[in-house]
Amino acid sequence: MPLDQTALLIELEPVVATNLDRHLSLAKEWFPHEYVPWSEGRTYDGLLGGEAWQDSDSKLPDVARTALIVNLLTEDNLPSYHHEIATLFGRDGAWGTWVHRWTAEEGRHGIAIRDYLTVTRAVDPVELERARMDHMSAGFSNGHPDSAMHSIAYVAFQELATRISHRNTGKATEDPIAEQLLARVAADENLHMVFYRNLLGAAFELDPDSAMQAVTDVVVGFEMPGANIDGFGRKALSIALAGIYDLRQHRDEVLQPVLRQWNVFGRTDLSGEGEKAREQLATHMDELESQAARFEQRREARRQRQEAKRV
């Protein structure tokens, strides 16, 4: 019998408690202000009559700026994420403690990245603020906001996706300070991923068919949390061309390792709908494989054309 949502949340409560303890024992305290080179800062124009931002102020490569903006806007939408998980998981007991703790940790990410960008003049602060207003005004919903099973599956993948994206954005900045900051953020995202991955692992034990169906729905319809950022398609393409986050990484470094942890393709406890969902997932993973390969070929051809032009 599939578990109804309340039963699922109740059954998972002790797993949340155990993993919350695990999380708290592994999470390291860190301070955003230590990652920001404050002495490089200069007063801006406007109220205080300093100097307006200009493009030449930024020392970062274009694509690193784009990726940082996407990552920060994604972090900025935290009130929407909080609303979603607080509504689904509740604010009591171990679930509630997790919801608030997670929110507090995520809040640090936006604070740290924004301080870094503003002080180093890495991006246009006016454009950034306008983009934040637009993005937050639109809000966010994960596509299955009423289903706890789907939402846990979604965040397990999404936390790992943000981990990879932050880490590779750090490398793309070619700035050791930004790299350290984003590696620190990525380490948090990894712990978040482990928490949700363990939770869904337990859900697989409780109700394998429903868990399997949720995983397939989420993987097949996956969208990054920043997908509704203005101009996301164009931004995501340049991020993919730079190898910061592309389909290959999405398939091989985000989907695969999590699916492997749940032993999705080796399970013997699926029946009917669960089996069907697993088959659909296998087909989708094959399709992603060919799409990733095609993208890599096109990217390589593009690189060669650009190189030929340079000679």
Residue 240: partners with Cβ closer than 8 Å, 6 or more residues away: 246, 247, 295, 299
**How far, in Å, CA of 146 to CA of 26, rounded?**
31
Contact between 84 and Fe ion by CB under 5 A: the answer reads no
Contact between 109 and Fe ion by CB under 5 A: the answer reads yes
**Of the listed pieces 52-60, 129-137, 182-190, 255-263, which binds Fe ion according to CB under 5 A?**
182-190
**Which of 109/278 has CB closer to Fe ion?**
109
3-state class (DSSP) for residue 57: helix
**Which of 66/158 has CB closer to Fe ion?**
158
3-state class (DSSP) for residue 125: helix
> What crossing angle do the helices spanning 78-89 and 93-120 adopt, rounded to 10°?
180
CB of 75 to Fe ion, least distance (A): 5
**Which of 53/157 has CB closer to Fe ion?**
157
Site for Fe ion in 111-170 (CB under 5 A): 159
Site for Fe ion in 184-203 (CB under 5 A): 189, 192
**Which of 75/175 has CB closer to Fe ion?**
75
Q: Which amino acid is at 245?
A: Y
Site for Fe ion in 262-281 (CB under 5 A): none
Residue 198: partners with Cβ closer than 8 Å, 6 or more residues away: 15, 19
The CA-based diameter of the chain, rounded to the nearest angstrom, is: 68
Q: Burial-class residue 258 by CB neighbours within 10 Å (0-12, 13-18, 19+).
A: buried
CB of 264 to Fe ion, least distance (A): 22
Task: Count the site residues for Fe ion by CB under 5 A.
Answer: 5
- Contacting Fe ion (CB under 5 A), which of 76, 84, 106, 209? 106
Binding site for Fe ion (CB under 5 A): 106, 109, 159, 189, 192
